[in-house]
């Protein structure tokens, strides 16, 4: 299993423990949080782009 991580086939290795606060639970929650933060940054950028494009048209 460690070879999967070593050769870049997976990003994380955890046991299949689906209980709250397990290592798997924490990894999944961190991934979801990362996606949420990236999405918020993308939306902020898009909002700023619309704002400057509107200012340059007016």
Structural domain boundaries of the chain?
15-57
CB 24 within 8 Å of CB 18: yes
Residues in the chain: 58
Instruction: Give 28-56 pLDDT, tens digit per residue.
Output: 999 999 999 999 999 999 999 999 999 88
54 Cα distance to chain centroid: 30
d(CA 39, CA 16): 28
pTM score > 0.85 for this model?
no
d(CA 9, CA 38): 23
- Which residue, chain included where needed, has tokens 């048209």? 57
């Amino acid at each position: 299993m460690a070879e999967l991580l070593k050769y870049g086939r997976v990003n994380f290795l955890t046991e299949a423990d689906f209980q709250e606060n397990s290592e798997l639970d924490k990894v999944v929650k961190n991934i979801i949080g990362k996606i949420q933060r990236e999405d918020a940054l993308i939306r902020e950028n898009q909002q700023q782009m619309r704002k400057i494009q509107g200012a340059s048209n007016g």
